[in-house]
Amino acid sequence: MVRPLNRKLLRDLWRLKSQVITIALVVASGIGGYIGSLSAHASLAALRDGYYESARFAHVFAPVRRAPRAIVTRLRSLPGVLDLDPSIVAATTITIPGESDLMTGQIVSLPRDPDSGMNRVVLARGRWVEPDDDSGVLISQSFARARGIQPGQRLSVLMNGRQQAVTVRGIALSPAYIFAASQGGFADDTRFGVLWMPENRLASAYDLKGAFNLLSLRLGAHGDERSIITAVDKALANYGAAGAYARKDQLSHKMLTQEIEEQRVFGTVLPSVFLAVAIFLLHVLLSRHIATERTQIAALKAMGYGNGTIGAHYFAFTSVTVLFGVVLGVAVGYFFGRWMTGLYARVFSFPDFHFAIVGWVGASAVLLAVVSGVVATFSAVRAVMRLPAAEAMRPPAAPHFHRTFLDRLRLGALLPAPARMVVREIERRPLRTSLTTLGIASSAAIIIAGTWWGDAFAELVDSELFRRDRADVLLALNEPKAIGAFAEIRRLPGVLMAEAARTVPVRLRHGATEYRSALLGLDPDARLRRVQDAQGRDLPLTNGSLVINDRLARVLGVRVGDRIEVEPIEGTRRATHLVISAESGDLMGMYGYVTRRDAARLVGEGDTFNFARVRVDAAQDAHFFEAVRNTPGIAAAGDKRRMVANFRATSQHNLLMFATILSVFATCIAVGVVYNSARITLAEQSWELATLRVMGFTRAEVSWTLLGQLLVQMLIALPIGFLIGHALAAFILDLISSEEFRIPLVVDGGTYALAGTVMLAAGVATSLIVRRRIDQLDLIGVLKTRD
């Protein structure tokens, strides 16, 4: 008795192959996005943690001006400290012979033994630099790749005000510079590089023989991070300590962790929506399909097949469909996750690359898909099998029809007959209409929620780096200088406008809350760096007042009018209290603003500056940067224009790829919804459509009565999908908000147009297929089904 049902199963699968494929694509889209995104997050976290452990990445960092190595022995005895590693770091500018671009970077000392110490440098290509090598350096892999630098190439670097020729011996990586960033926290591999050279040469260049300016510490499992930081600060206070900080505040780790956490959010929220939509649609579509086989189920019961046998037959139909979607989804998830992991691996410098599907992620996705298919089948088959065979073999009772809303308003007569049929069918089947509309809206929402952040980052860059900060180039000095020396900056060739600033690292305290930050000291009439509130209105800077970032204010639990304690981490280190006069609306960073003179007074200085913002005539760029390279007091320079251009080019490429993949997923779901809805509606209304053809309606008019329903549902679904997508974007934004960035919720018209275009394209493609099916209706055969 089973063999005939098996043949029926094969015939059904072949007859409904297009619907089976589209339903499987819906399942595959949900499973693929879910598995790929969450597995990419897990793989990135595993890459980071494994690299940190193998390279002995430090837990605490303590920068100082100049401390003797003898103090390391005393600090080694601190409770909870496993190891210490003194080193030397210095900011620099890099020159590649034959290129005029200004490149900045950092020089880091190398230990004698490559396998000793912390933050171990891993050699990717080339050879190690020997301790007595007077000119050899290692260079960071990301910078070398971006600039095409090979071992053996010669460079020029600025060391303590003097240009020094160096030769690249090898390409290297370090856990401290997985994310190598220049001014502003943007990764610009084309203009920021890290170099490593023997410690003795670096110490000689910076007068640090027998001394260090950075101490790295590894802590035991039970080490108290906060107490150790306090003890280290106290021990190094007389040596120009700039304040020890934990790994969580180290720039590379902070940016890497933030990106991984954002991937976790995207990998949880969006794929979960994918999977939820897929499960929802699977249930609806299978239920409607099985309901169309009501008479076949009744016939099987009349022939003696039991409920269990019939149920197993339909479970087999569902199982094949779901299994097809699961297999395809796992494959899609693997390639999608591997692509995502590779994308991040190219942005961040890891020594190796590994991706694997996480077991529990794959198992949960498959289980949800299977369970949803079983539930959909059970509910549909159970409803039909409740009926006696004789009753089930008759067509279902016609629904209770009533006058439509347009008819009651006496507007129905204004529409042609096919249009009135469309309106009546939609209004008289509200549940079916609502479910189809919701499915289409969900597809549009997924596209918006996955691509809106391209608009958001464009607004972030425009707001922070063009409206608030109008400088072209940012210059950092080796040491603070009296304001009289600022005339040298103004005299650099090509300078159109320049403003001095004094930045001071500080600890801000309010009650029991403490936060490590910085104060930006600006002149009250500064125009290249504007202090603005969240609405973009300029805020005045006055002597003795403090303007604080609004997110920092929330962290400290303060508001305008409150007094907070400000302790500078350099200079006098004498704490003072300042009154908060306003809150700024910066989207990047967590800092406060004071006047430049107030900032200098905090550290016991007169009228000084250590930072400059400059507007430069683009025609004079080459002369300007050449002069900067030859100015001893300038430690580093950042060309903001080129940095932003590189960031936009990279992000646009990645956004385009991500948007394309999401659009493919959403299109699969949209096609699955629209096509299956149209096919099932065609099966349900074939008798009525055939009757209309016999009555003299043209093929176009008959097609319109069916496809018009889909068109109206799609037009209703799109604005709903736009609203859902905007709300979903806001939800994601709330989850990924961090201390360093406040991403604005900006969804521009292009994103809505993309979502609408994808949905309409799916609708048009589906309509052409369904129209062909309608044209091929066997009128006599269809009309006989009611006899």
DSSP assignment string, 292-342: TTHHHHHHHHHTT--HHHHHHHHHHHHHHHHHHHHHHHHHHHHHHHHHHHH
Burial state string for 14-32 with b = 16 or more CB within 10 A and e = fewer than 16: eebeebbbbbbbbbbbbbb
The answer to whether residues 688 and 409 touch, using CB atoms and an 8 Å cutoff, is: no
Label each residue of 379-414 as H, E or C: HHHHHHHCCCHHHHHCCCCCCCCCCCHHHHCCCHHH
- Report the predicted TM-score, pTM, of the whole model to 2 decimal places: 0.74
User: What sign results for the dihedral spanned by CA atoms 722, 724, 725, 730?
Assistant: positive
Helices (H), 468-516: 486-490
Sort residue 207 into left (φ over 0), alpha (ψ -120 to 50) or beta.
Answer: left
Place of tokens 């080490």: 223
One-letter identity of residue 760: L
DSSP code at position 620? G
Q: Is the dihedral of CA 543, 549, 552, 553 positive or negative?
A: positive
Instruction: Tokens 């919804």: give the residue.
Output: 673
What CA–CA distances, in Å, run from 163 to 89, 468, 581?
Answer: 17, 34, 45
Helix, strand, coil abundance in the chain, percent, nearest 5: 55, 20, 25
The helices-and-strands tally (H runs, E runs) of the chain is: 22, 20
Collapse the DSSP code of 58 into the 3-class scheme (helix H, G, I; strand E, B; otherwise coil) and give the result.
coil
Asked if residue 682 lies in contact with residue 778, where contact means CB atoms within 8 angstroms, the answer is no
Residue 650, Cβ density class (10 Å: 0-12 exposed, 13-18 middle, ≥19 buried): middle
Asked if 233 contacts 146 with a C-beta cutoff of 8 angstroms, the reply is no
Strand partners, 482: 608
Q: What is the pLDDT of residue 1?
A: 46
Three-state DSSP state, 473: strand
For residues 213 and 205, what is the distance between their CA atoms, to the nearest angstrom? Answer: 13
What is the Cα–Cα distance from 504 to 604, expressed in whole angstroms?
Answer: 11
499: tokens are 């403003």
Residue showing tokens 């452990």? 53
Which single residue is written with the structure tokens 């020089």? 107
- β-strand partners of 61: 216, 245
Residue for token pair 């960031």: 647
Residue 172: the pLDDT is: 92
Give the whole-angstrom CA distance, residue 79 versus residue 26.
Answer: 57
Q: Is residue 177 classed exposed, middle or buried when 0-12, 13-18 and 19+ CB atoms within 10 A define those classes?
A: buried
Burial class from Cβ neighbours inside 10 Å (0-12, 13-18, 19+) for residue 501 reads: buried
Domain map of the chain by residue range?
54-254, 429-468+641-787, 495-616
Yes or no: say if 495 and 615 are a contact pair by the CB < 8 Å rule. Answer: yes
CATH number of 495-616: 2.40.40
C-alpha span between 769 and 762 (Å, rounded): 11
Amino acid making up residue 132? D
Q: What is the mean pLDDT of the chain?
A: 82
Instruction: List helix spans (H) across 348-385.
Output: 359-385
Tokens describing residue 71: 């103090």
* Amino acid symbol at 559: R
Strand partners, 63: 214
Low-confidence ranges of the chain (pLDDT < 50): 1, 183-185, 787
Q: What is the spatial distance between Cα 477 and Cα 613, in angstroms, rounded to a whole number? A: 12
User: Cα–chain-centroid distance for residue 721?
Assistant: 21
Q: Please, what is the Cα angle at 160 between 155 and 164, to 5 degrees?
A: 25
Tell me the three state secondary structure of residue 562.
coil
- Chain-centroid distance of CA 389 in Å reads 56
Instruction: Name the one residue in this structure whose structure tokens are 């959909």.
Output: 376
Residue 358 to residue 345: CA distance in whole angstroms: 18
What one-letter code names the amino acid at 296?
Answer: Q
* Nearest residue to 34 via CA among 358, 395, 465, 498: 358
* DSSP label of 738: -
The pair of three-digit structure tokens given for residue 384, joined into one six-digit string: 């039909």
- CA–CA dist 129, 123 (Å, integer): 10
User: Length of the chain, please?
Assistant: 787
Cα 120 versus chain centre, distance? 29
Within its chain, how far is the Cα of 141 from the centroid? 23
Please report the pLDDT score of residue 18 as a whole number. 75
CA 188, CA 71: separation in Å to the nearest integer?
37
Three-state DSSP class for residue 353: coil
Strand blocks (E) in 470-600: 473-482, 495-510, 513-522, 545-549, 563-568, 576-584, 592-595
